[in-house]
Chain A
Amino acid sequence: MLVTLLSGDKPRSAILTVLLLGVLICLAGAPFLFPGVRSLETAATICIFILLVASYDLLLGYTGIVSFAHTMFFGLGAYGVALSATHLGRGWGALVVGSLSGAIAAALLALVIGLFSLRVRAIFFAMITLAVASAVAVLVSQLFNITGGEDGLTYRIPRELTPAFRMGELFGVRLNGRILNYYLVFICCFLLFLFLLRVVNSPFGRVLQAIRENDFRAEAIGYRVVWYRTAATCLSAAIAALAGSLYAIWLRYVGPDTTLSFEIMLDILLMVVIGGMGTMYGAVLGAVIFVLAQNYLQALMGVAASATEGVPILPLFLDPNRWLLWLGLLFILSVYFFPTGIVGRLRAGR
């Protein structure tokens, strides 16, 4: 049953299995295991980034396509929900319409980019995606009347998903719409992640892997490489857009910095590389480590700095303001020691 759920793609490492189960339990029980606004924010961000990174892994890890437009697709989904909620009013229908419109718009844009540039060399495709993503970011910023420009958009979502909606108490935790909103995000991300696992383990996914390894050979067997690459790009874009929609539903705000910035694109790249490309499970570990480090490393360093107050020089290095330096160092070390990502390393060390 569990193997069927995972589409036969078992973790293939005891440590990895334990880690993945740990992440699943922590995320499934986050509102009760780690009560508090900040921890719930972190858990929801982890869920969304797992999905976003997994959709990018479909492109980079399974198909061998380097794209810099993934945040653009993420943003399209987020703005889809924001615009729909703004213009159609508060309601479930607006969320569904916005999510679907964002996903369709992302898939169509991916189709156009793919048909124009996937026939040529990989570097050209990467450059095209970078140019289009930058153009869309500028456009969103300039079209102030529609998108809210740099300020972004704030909108209302159904009351059942907001803290104002109260439902009593369970295990000492006050149940409210925010927790419902979290479970909406968690369940959607979980199901879409399982869908991606199904895709990469299907005959379609095998063809993508064959194309990544040797596109000439895949063509010589009879597969239309451009068609498969374009289909993978569209699918990946649509899933990224759905992740963006969930982010917009969770935040109740969208802006260029939260959904379209190139910084997010770099974060996604790092999460894929740290977790392990072409594994799907790498997206889980990469997103968990990265988001936790982004949210808690600074606080952890503050504690470490106070604990080492008596030691000369060390508190200077552990100053919370230097958290980005340590984050960078952590990534350099992880890429150095785990060139195939954490999942690749764990699987090799079976």
Chain B
Amino acid sequence: MSDPVLELSGLHTDIAQYHILEGVDLSVPRGQVTMLLGRNGVGKTTTLRTIMGHWAAKSGTIRYDAQDITGWPTPARARAGIGFVPEDMGIFSDLTVEENMVLAAASGPLDPARLTRIFAAFPPLKTFWTAEAGNLSGGQKQMLSIARAMAEERILYLIDEPTKGLAPAIVSTMAGALRDLKAQGASILLVEQNFAVAKALGDHAAVMEGGRIVWTGPMAELAADTALQERLMGLNMEVQG
């Protein structure tokens, strides 16, 4: 495994009185796609939100790009190069697509070359550039959500269920964009329930159960072993894919 861009050690997170993460240990290799898998409610989203600083870690450490960022506030993590695409997309509906993108480039003006790449990956964003983001379709909102994370150079992308509830054609656009991102050398930690997408994009996989990582290994190994899938997630990728 190559040099890790992110390492979680013994990460515990509580939300109100609930103990959600119960000692997450995870290593995300640089320049590769790591799939974070598991049943609903096992703590995948909480893991991403804890890395981003939305939930404070009760104990444990988060090392990112060779620095301990456990106590850092969220904006500092974002400025250090972590891009987050939340499950609810979190677009600013009252602002236009353009304003959403300009805001996403928090450290300076939007790079035209980068914008051209984004338009190539998501053509509807160019069409609706001056439209209010709240008027976009679900798929277009998801495109905007990912495009916002791509508005600046990022070292690590945390992406939470980008294909959830989308039409197959949009899923394929989304997978294409993530493939491009991967080809550019980005490190990605991706939560994904669509196993066809997971299988196609993932280099590594980490499976969660009860707030812990219970299995890590190459994605290809998990994809090939239906018994392992059944045991870890109660699912069969061959059926799902």
- A residues near B (Cβ < 8 Å) are 203, 206-207, 209-210, 213-214, 216-225, 278
Measured CA separation A210–B106 after assembly (Å): 12
Known contacts: A221-B104, A222-B107, A223-B106. The answer to whether A213 contacts B92 by CB under 8 A is: yes
Chain B nearest Cβ from A23, distance in angstroms: 25
New contact pairs (16) apart from A213-B94, A220-B52, A222-B79, CB-CB < 8 Å: A203-B103, A206-B102, A206-B103, A207-B103, A210-B92, A213-B93, A216-B90, A217-B91, A219-B53, A219-B73, A219-B78, A220-B86, A221-B104, A221-B148, A222-B78, A223-B75
Do B74 and A219 touch (CB < 8 A)?
yes
**Contact (Cβ within 8 A) A220 B92:** no
Residue of B nearest to A216 (CB): B54
Question: Which chain B residues lie closer than 8 Å to A220 at the CB level?
Answer: 52, 54, 74, 78, 84, 86, 90
B94–A209 CB distance below 8 A: yes
On chain B, the residues within 8 Å of A203 by CB distance are 102-103
A184: shortest Cβ distance to chain B, in Å? 36
Q: In the complex, what distance in Å separates the CA atom of A276 from the CA atom of B116?
A: 37
Question: Residue B203 at the A interface, CB < 8 A?
Answer: no
How far is A278 from B92 in the complex, measured between Cα atoms in Å?
Answer: 14
Chain A CB within 10 Å, residue with most, of B90, B93, B99, B148: B90
Q: How far is the CA of A221 from the CA of B103 in the complex (A)?
A: 8
Q: Which residue of A lies closest to B100 (CB)?
A: A210
A-B contact pairs, 9 of them (CB 8 A): A203-B102, A206-B95, A218-B103, A219-B73, A220-B52, A220-B74, A222-B75, A222-B79, A222-B107
Contact: A214 with B103, CB < 8 Å? no
Classify chain B: how many residues form its interface, as a range. 20 to 34
Chain B min CB distance to A312 (Å): 51
State the 9 A-B residue pairs at the shortest beta-carbon distance, nearest first: A222-B78, A222-B106, A217-B90, A219-B74, A220-B84, A222-B79, A213-B92, A210-B92, A224-B75
Which residues in window 62-114 of B have CB below 8 A to A? 73-75, 78-79, 84, 86, 90-95, 99, 102-104, 106-107
Report the minimum CB–CB distance from B149 to chain A (whole Å). 9
Q: How far is the CA of A19 from the CA of B78 in the complex (A)?
A: 44
Q: Residue among B54, B73, B75, B94 with the most chain A CB within 10 A?
A: B75
- Of the candidates B84, B92, B94, the one having the most CB atoms from chain A within 10 angstroms of its own CB is B92
- Minimum Cβ distance to chain B for residue A83 (Å): 40
B151: nearest chain-A partner, CB-CB: A221
- Interfacial chain A residues near B78, Cβ < 8 Å: 219-222
Across the interface, do B86 and A219 meet the contact criterion of CB distance under 8 Å? Answer: no
A350 → chain B closest CB, angstroms:
13
Shortest distance between the CB of B69 and any CB in chain A (Å): 14
CB of A340 to closest CB in B, whole Å: 11
Closest B-chain residue to A212, C-beta based? B94
Question: Distance in Å from the Cβ of A245 to the closest Cβ of chain B?
Answer: 33
Specify which chain B residues have a CB less than 8 angstroms from the CB of A214 in the assembled complex: 90, 92
Give the residue name and chain of the A residue nearest to B79 (CB).
A222
Q: Which residue of A lies closest to B104 (CB)?
A: A221
Give the complex CA separation of A138 and B54 in angstroms. 40
**Chain B residue at minimum C-beta to C-beta distance from A207:** B103
A106 to chain B, nearest CB (A): 27
Nearest Cβ distance between residue A73 and chain B, in whole angstroms?
A: 26
Q: Which residues of A contact B52 (CB under 8 A)?
A: 220
Q: How far, in Å, is A58 (CB) from chain B's closest CB?
A: 15
Q: Which of B74, B84, B91, B106 has the most CB of A within 10 A?
A: B74
Per the bound structure, the CA–CA distance linking A216 and B106 in Å amounts to 15
* Given A206-B102, A206-B103, A210-B103; A219-B75 close (CB under 8 Å): yes
Kindly list chain B residues whose C-beta atoms are within 8 Å of the C-beta of A218. 103
User: Given the complex, which residues of B lie within 8 Å of A217, measured CB to CB?
Assistant: 86, 90-92
> Which residues on B sit within 8 Å (CB–CB) of A209?
92, 94-95
Query: Which residue of A has the minimal Cβ distance to B85?
Result: A220
